[in-house]
Copies of this chain bind each other. A is one copy, B any other.
């Protein structure tokens, strides 16, 4: 069944059935001019607003992607932004632009995937919009909240702080290599883990809440463009420099295997691969042990110290395996520029 067969209102009815039961805080979900939600009752709570888009042909291919995974991915990208503020995600709006011959089941799968990521966090889809377009565009808007004393910004890193990351780096890039057919001969469970990391990354919402509640974190960002690029954003906002220690970067065994199988450099994947959606944050050295224990106990996710904050005049450095400093090149993709930001040409 295609979108043109059910029409705009038929489609909205069908999608409304995928968003599930609303809690008591949702006064009106889909079906009126706007969604209506109860405001957080605690005085002085901050609201967090973010949006992120996935475009067919740029971020995904309709022919090859599983719609449920695409929905999970769209959820995760937005949830990760709220996680990076130390916040709690609350309400999604989903704006869809699509060709009229889009399969309705594809869109329903998308909603199911979004719910799979959102519901366990208490986050609900409360509205959205559908319109026509030559290609499929998915734009999600997420409203979250945070206590003012738990808000974690990109600014705030102090000279001497350690730089930490959650989880592991480069796995999403390894999954991309598999999709491109660059890494062959890997075991099925290795392939599946890496494809999942790329196609349906998991936002570190609980880890972000744990870090925010533990105090001691001075600045935080999520890793969408790659560690080298994103830690650069954090340093710029904090007006500091950084030294990343190449040998400490957490790369898991599956990613190492894929890098070897494809003749790629796993360090480059960990630094520049992007789309890992791990959290990167800074904290004084004396807080590292306490934070690591708190996050591990609350979520099961390990933290790794990957560098140190320097005075701003030292810039952005990468200490290689030989111990020597090199410039840390932000090779993350600039979505709109003529070429990659770090292209040396």
Judging by beta carbons under 8 Å apart, are A336 and B35 in contact? no
Interface size class of A (residues with CB under 8 A): 35 or more
Judging by beta carbons under 8 Å apart, are B85 and A34 in contact? yes
Q: Write the nearest CB–CB distance from A48 to chain B, whole angstroms.
A: 4
Partner of A337, one of B7, B44, B55, B128: B7
User: Given A33-B222, A151-B36, A237-B31 in contact, is the A51-B93 Cβ separation under 8 Å?
Assistant: yes
User: Given A7-B341, A130-B336, A335-B131 in contact, is the A137-B97 Cβ separation under 8 Å?
Assistant: yes
Partner of A58, one of B7, B46, B52, B131: B131
Residues of B contacting A34 in the complex (Cβ-Cβ under 8 angstroms) = 48-50, 81-82, 84-85, 87, 142, 144
Tell me whether A91 is interfacial, beta carbon within 8 Å.
yes
Q: Write the nearest CB–CB distance from A152 to chain B, whole angstroms.
A: 9
- Contact residues of A: prevailing secondary structure: mixed
Tell me whether A197 is interfacial, beta carbon within 8 Å.
no
Judging by beta carbons under 8 Å apart, are A81 and B335 in contact? no
Per the bound structure, the CA–CA distance linking A137 and B50 in Å amounts to 17
Judging by beta carbons under 8 Å apart, are A7 and B336 in contact? yes
Per the bound structure, the CA–CA distance linking A139 and B53 in Å amounts to 10
Judging by beta carbons under 8 Å apart, are A47 and B36 in contact? yes
Contacting residues of chain A (132-165) with chain B, CB-CB under 8 angstroms? 132-135, 137, 139, 141-146, 148, 151, 153-154
Per the bound structure, the CA–CA distance linking A207 and B323 in Å amounts to 68
Tell me whether A45 is interfacial, beta carbon within 8 Å.
yes
